[in-house]
Chain A
Amino acid sequence: MIRPELEALIQGALDDALTPEEQARLARFISESPEARERVAQLEQLASIIESLDAARAPIGLVDNVLAEVSHRPLSPRTWSTFPRGVAVNKKILFGLAAAAAIVLAVITYYSNPPATVGTEATIGAAQRAQTPQIAPKDVQVGDASAQEMLQTDTFDAIMKDAQLRKLLQNDEMRKQLQRAEFRVALDDENIRLALRTPNLAQRLEDAAFKKALSDPAAAKKFDDSNMRWLAANRAMAEALRQDQFRSLLARDNNAAALAGAAMKAALHDDHFDAALRGNLSARLARGVQAR
């Protein structure tokens, strides 16, 4: 009988789910154990047999049939519920949580965005005057209907299963902070949402050196020619530079220093961050700066 740890490693390898460290550990096991080698061969053979049932051809006319079916059906609100059964919660608390849930993702966005430096308000303000805000504070009000819908969402489901998050959302100050338009505005950006799904990016944005580079004037000393040359050659940076607001941000010394820092250079290696940068991340950051 193979050890559970080894079995998990072998199955994980079959599913492309191992970290480099786990891969190294498995390689060691395989080189030392005939039993492990046999199990690898067994599972590979099984996967190959299962997958010999190849992909089926989609039925002819499926697309047309679906479109014919939906042509006389209206798009409607969700009708099924994912609310966990068997959870007894006071109705008042429930609705409070539902309202908070509507903006919980925004918290992550807000606190993951790099903090802007003091002194950028005037520059950003000038750029902002030419713009019409996409969402006003009144847009983030969550009425009863919204609360009802939130009760049926996966986000709410996740909150109900997370005691720590529930506690956090019941904190008055936290909820007050959450109910700000900038949260929702930031969330409106698809690229930012995508970027936030990347664990690496979140990790980088949480990186103390990165934050310091964006906020500490002393970081200007780190400004060096090699980084600037590298940034100038970066395609995403070149595209971002075409945006007025990004240029405005960059015009401030502290931001330029931060952008030239090693942490930003590392972040630019991330595909999702790259996408966010090429999208309107700078505009979102600018709005956040102005609001603060």
Chain B
Amino acid sequence: MRRVYLLSDPDDLALVRQTLAGQSEAFGSLVSRYQKVMYTVALRMLGNPADAQDATQDAFVKAYQNLASFNSSHRFYSWMYRILVNECLNVGRDRRPEDGLDGDEEADGTPFDTALASERREQIQLALLRLTPEYRMVVVLRHFAGQSYGEIAEALSIPEKTVKSRLFSARQRLGELLLGWKESTKEEDL
């Protein structure tokens, strides 16, 4: 599972302290460190590069403005995810999933390969967008940010048990949509 984005807490905390001490370039380092994973999470949540960029940028600006209230006993990236989640939910409320899908990935191979890959990615992204935001966010944080159950629970302020339950149900639904799994008899609104 992906854990490549996450660096050590002490580094983050040092940068937070430097920012609070007036060194804004330290905040630039934090943005630089987390921009890729934050943008990826926003893109998978919203399915639209323009919205994802807005949500990511707004989340970082809000984080800066509220940095004084960051509780250093928590992980910086969990706090950032929480802010980003709220931004994505705000953007998502104003849009329908079909309003625009991403076309932001790098592509290799022939034009035919590229077209096939692009179509496949679109199908996966559409399947994600068919989940409700609560279920989608758990899948996105797990599969695209490599967060553990505990970290997701912290970021979303929900119990770990709920994280697991949502993740399992969301995977079942994605399996039905993408791989034709037999539909679950359990009725859930996801």
B168 in complex: contacting residue of A7, A67, A105, CB < 8 Å: A7
- Residues of B near A46 (CB, < 8 A) are 171, 174-175, 178-179
Decide if A93 is an interface residue (CB 8 Å cutoff): no
Write the chain B residue with the least CB distance to A51: B143
Contact B69 A66 (CB under 8 A): no
Write the chain B residue with the least CB distance to A76: B65
Decide if B15 is an interface residue (CB 8 Å cutoff): no
A55 in complex: contacting residue of B37, B56, B124, CB < 8 Å: B37
Residues A153-178 near B (CB distance < 8 A) = 153-155, 157
Decide if A88 is an interface residue (CB 8 Å cutoff): no
With A55-B36, A155-B71, A194-B10 as known contacts, state yes or no: A43 contacts B171, CB within 8 Å.
yes
> Could you mark each residue 2-45 of chain B with 1 if its beta carbon is under 8 Å from any beta carbon of chain A, else 0?
10000001100100000110001101100110011101100110
With A49-B179, A69-B57 as known contacts, state yes or no: A153 contacts B144, CB within 8 Å.
no
> How long is the Cα–Cα vector from A243 to B121 in the complex, in angstroms?
56
With A11-B171, A62-B56 as known contacts, state yes or no: A52 contacts B71, CB within 8 Å.
no
Decide if A129 is an interface residue (CB 8 Å cutoff): no
B69 in complex: contacting residue of A7, A70, A77, CB < 8 Å: A77
> Could you mark each residue 148-189 of chain B with 1 if its beta carbon is under 8 Å from any beta carbon of chain A, else 0?
110000000100000010011001001100110100000000
A15 in complex: contacting residue of B64, B120, B167, CB < 8 Å: B167
Contact B9 A194 (CB under 8 A): yes
> Could you mark each residue 85-105 of chain B with 1 if its beta carbon is under 8 Å from any beta carbon of chain A, else 0?
000000000000000001011
- Residues of A near B164 (CB, < 8 A) are 8, 11
Contact A75 B67 (CB under 8 A): yes
> How long is the Cα–Cα vector from A17 to B9 in the complex, in angstroms?
21
Contact A59 B39 (CB under 8 A): yes
A75 in complex: contacting residue of B40, B68, B125, CB < 8 Å: B68
Decide if A87 is an interface residue (CB 8 Å cutoff): no
Q: Number of B residues contacting the other chain (C-beta, 8 Å)?
A: 62
Contact A56 B39 (CB under 8 A): yes
Write the chain B residue with the least CB distance to A16: B1
- Residues of B near A154 (CB, < 8 A) are 71, 74, 157
Q: Which of B31, B74, B157 has the most CB of A within 10 A?
A: B31
Contact B125 A53 (CB under 8 A): yes
Write the chain B residue with the least CB distance to A66: B60
- Residues of A near B181 (CB, < 8 A) are 42
Q: Number of A residues contacting the other chain (C-beta, 8 Å)?
A: 52
> How long is the Cα–Cα vector from A54 to B36 in the complex, in angstroms?
11
- Residues of B near A152 (CB, < 8 A) are 69
- Residues of A near B53 (CB, < 8 A) are 59, 62
Contact B20 A53 (CB under 8 A): no
Residues B112-159 near A (CB distance < 8 A) = 120-121, 124-125, 128, 139, 142-144, 148-149, 157
> How long is the Cα–Cα vector from A89 to B40 in the complex, in angstroms?
41
Contact A190 B40 (CB under 8 A): no
Contact B157 A82 (CB under 8 A): yes
Write the chain B residue with the least CB distance to A154: B71
A57 in complex: contacting residue of B1, B65, B104, CB < 8 Å: B104
- Residues of A near B64 (CB, < 8 A) are 66, 70, 73, 75
Contact A149 B175 (CB under 8 A): no
Can you list 27 A-B pairs with a CB-CB distance of less than 8 A?
A42-B179, A46-B174, A50-B143, A52-B121, A55-B144, A56-B105, A57-B39, A58-B39, A62-B35, A62-B39, A62-B60, A65-B57, A66-B28, A66-B31, A66-B61, A69-B57, A75-B20, A78-B66, A79-B65, A79-B66, A80-B66, A152-B69, A154-B71, A154-B157, A190-B10, A190-B72, A194-B10
List 11 additional contacts besides A53-B125, A77-B66; criterion CB under 8 Å.
A49-B124, A50-B139, A53-B128, A66-B27, A73-B64, A75-B67, A76-B65, A76-B68, A149-B69, A153-B71, A155-B71
| A contacts, CB < 8 Å to B | 7-8, 11, 15-17, 42-43, 45-47, 49-59, 62-63, 65-67, 69-71, 73-80, 82, 105, 149, 152-155, 157, 190-191, 193-194, 197, 275
